[in-house]
Structure 1
């Protein structure tokens, strides 16, 4: 059965801004509170702060960028969050775009797949065996972590295209997608996940989809909502390539025409409550395990109360 979760639809500047969303997860059928990489309040610290305020809920970080921390530090942060919340954590990692890699590392990963494999190998070794002795092309670690009993931690990879999906099938517990239409998940991502898992002789990882959406309203412009939610991604080469493979051609200029293409291709869902519920059912029918409701566009254009109202309606309908 597909679970529904909540994405924090903005970049918090103070940790208390997370509390209404943590409360929503605690008091509704939502499974987990998610946040992507943030350059203001760091996600691991923000979630730990919410736990300190009394809202200890399952959390997901999807995805934090590998170039920002060594895998030992990543394992330490993940385990610290599980200990602080007392709840399960999904820790998603990804290499990020080439421009970001170059800005942080001086040059991009020649092979993001190899870098991602090495990263998860070290993090998993530290969390599950307590020690690693590993030399890689991009990441190495020879060390141990002190033992600790903690809630379940699942490791995820950010997945946009078939190559990373096959790798996730081999080494991850969860494949985490962003801006990926249900049909593309069915035709490209899920078969690649299964292929990778079969090659490694392991169970197919769960699939989690972050889905940008908005409920229709008389004052709402769907094209503006698309751009308020995803304009930056719609100009990034790796997203443009993924969307092209999904049958959505973008000029890459964050124009109204590109926004219309996103709506037509179901990369952004817009409509009445019943219409949205039917569109979300498509993710359930193809086998997506967790759908993360992304109301960033609503938040950016209409404010926090409108985003929270949409989330409550969507979660009630899903339940």
Structure 2
């Protein structure tokens, strides 16, 4: 199982990313993952790093589909692969229904159908194929300019069973979020592996896992809330947690945060204790774990988040 890191902050200046990018160069971390940029676009950040000489493998988990056409999504992902000379995992998700309505005027008529079309189109384009799709949600007749590049694999964000099955059908990578090892192993993995696969190679599974090291003056409940509190206010996250046996109020309060810790969603402890819990993901067949220290960054600052990542990675078996 590989280890990677998630950029634990939303940068306002690209220089803020350098420390975390260098962790990928200096440690056994496989790649730097970024979520959807809110101020600086995540693809622009990756290309800026390449421009100053930090060329590292990159993952986007996940870019929100309503913000870019599948052609633009493929072009942006490939631009990072060309600029960095490193492989890219381009992960996508539809976002919340409210977000879709806000930026598109209305939600996708079918969440699964839109994701299926989107992933197929992007994968075809980054694989330098001639794509001719006239779907219910997207219509593309195009081919990217032919140019040698490092591989771009296409991922799909996964919270629940139906999206997991779709990832197992059409995506190169299934990317889980806020999924305990038991939930990923008992619910998501069977759906991924049981899907009728379109591709020759099986889908890889990447689990983004919120973590924090224990220590003096640290409050696990506050750290869990700072990491996950915003997400668990959304209905689709609450539903996914319910399917894992974790019922939250969605008010970002301490009781919800404690449930995430008790339910194995948020991992807290010494480096050795963190790795004991991460080994559960290895045991169920997860290919890559992405360490998410956003709770530490939000509570104690980016330097503390970087130190946690370094200590956890240095303790990896």
TM-score of the pair, normalised by structure 2 = 0.98
Q: Does 1:88 align with 2:90?
A: no
Give the superposition deviation at 1:109.
1.1
Give the superposition deviation at 1:202.
3.9
Distance 2:89 2:232 in 1: 26
Contact 1:165 1:175 in 2 (8 A): yes
SS in 2 for 1:318: coil
Structure 2 residue corresponding to 1:248, chosen from 237, 246, 249: 246
Instruction: Please list every run of 5 or more consecutive structure 2 residues that lacks an aligned counterpart in the other structure.
Output: none
Q: What corresponds to 1:150 in structure 2? A: 149
* Residues 8-23 of structure 1 aligned to structure 2 (within 5 Å): 8-23=7-22
Q: What corresponds to 2:194 in structure 1? A: 195
Distance 1:21 1:254 in 2: 27
Farther off after superposition, 10-19 or 61-70: 10-19
Give the superposition deviation at 1:210.
0.5
Distance 1:250 1:170 in 2: 31
Instruction: Please list every run of 5 or more consecutive structure 1 residues that lacks an aligned counterpart in the other structure.
Output: none
Distance 1:189 1:121 in 2: 21
Structure 1 residue corresponding to 2:272, chosen from 271, 274, 289: 274
Give the superposition deviation at 1:134.
1.0
| Cα-to-partner distance string for 1:195-229 (whole Å, 9 max, x where unaligned) | 11x45474320100110010001200111001111
Q: What corresponds to 1:140 in structure 2? A: 139
Distance 1:82 1:170 in 2: 25
SS in 2 for 1:225: helix
RMSD of Structure 2 on Structure 1 (CA): 1.1
| Cα-to-partner distance string for 1:57-76 (whole Å, 9 max, x where unaligned) | 00000000000000000110
Structure 2 residue corresponding to 1:258, chosen from 251, 256, 259: 256
Q: What corresponds to 1:106 in structure 2? A: 105
Q: What corresponds to 1:308 in structure 2? A: 306
Distance 1:128 1:277 in 2: 36
Q: What corresponds to 1:231 in structure 2? A: 229
Distance 2:197 2:145 in 1: 33
Runs of 4+ in 1 over 2 A off after TM superposition: 198-204
Distance 2:13 2:216 in 1: 33
SS in 1 for 2:132: strand
Aligned length: 317
* Residues 51-200 of structure 1 aligned to structure 2 (within 5 Å): 51-196=50-195, 198-200=196-198
Distance 1:61 1:151 in 2: 16
SS in 2 for 1:250: coil
Contact 2:9 2:302 in 1 (8 A): no
Contact 1:124 1:155 in 2 (8 A): yes
| Cα-to-partner distance string for 1:281-308 (whole Å, 9 max, x where unaligned) | 1111111100000000101111121111
Q: What corresponds to 1:4 in structure 2? A: 3
TM-score of the pair, normalised by structure 1 = 0.97
| Cα-to-partner distance string for 1:245-274 (whole Å, 9 max, x where unaligned) | 111111111111111111100110111222
